[in-house]
Amino acid sequence: MEENLISLYNLPIGSFGKVKRLTAEGNVRRRMLDLGLVDDTTVEALRRSPSGDPIAYQIRGAVIALRSEEASKILIRVC
């Protein structure tokens, strides 16, 4: 098991991380893969909504908003 992995949801705003593992299953996993969340993809946490959920991320040139329950299933290594 790899060390020093955090969930994407815990990535501080303005920080970058690389996707290392998806723990989601089924349709949610398929959607994440379709969005480009594959191994070693760089993700930047851009901003939180006023209520704190969802959070906007930059992924492969696109800005994607993910809810906490989705982002918590993406494990990353902070760059």
- Write the pLDDT tens digit of every residue in 3-49: 689 999 999 999 999 999 999 999 999 999 999 999 999 999 999 99
pLDDT of the residue at 2? 53
Domain residue ranges in the chain: 6-78
CATH number for 6-78 (one of 2.30.30.90, 1.10.3720.10, 2.60.40.1180, 3.40.50.720): it is 2.30.30.90
Enclosing H/E stretch for 28:
helix 26-34
pLDDT of the residue at 52? 83
Please give the sequence-ordered ranges of beta strands (E in DSSP) within 1-79, or none if there are none: 6-7, 16-22, 42-48, 55-59, 62-66, 74-78
pLDDT of the residue at 12? 95
pLDDT of the residue at 76? 97
In the predicted model, is pLDDT for residue 75 greater than 90? Answer: yes
Q: What is the pTM of this model?
A: 0.89
SS3 25: coil
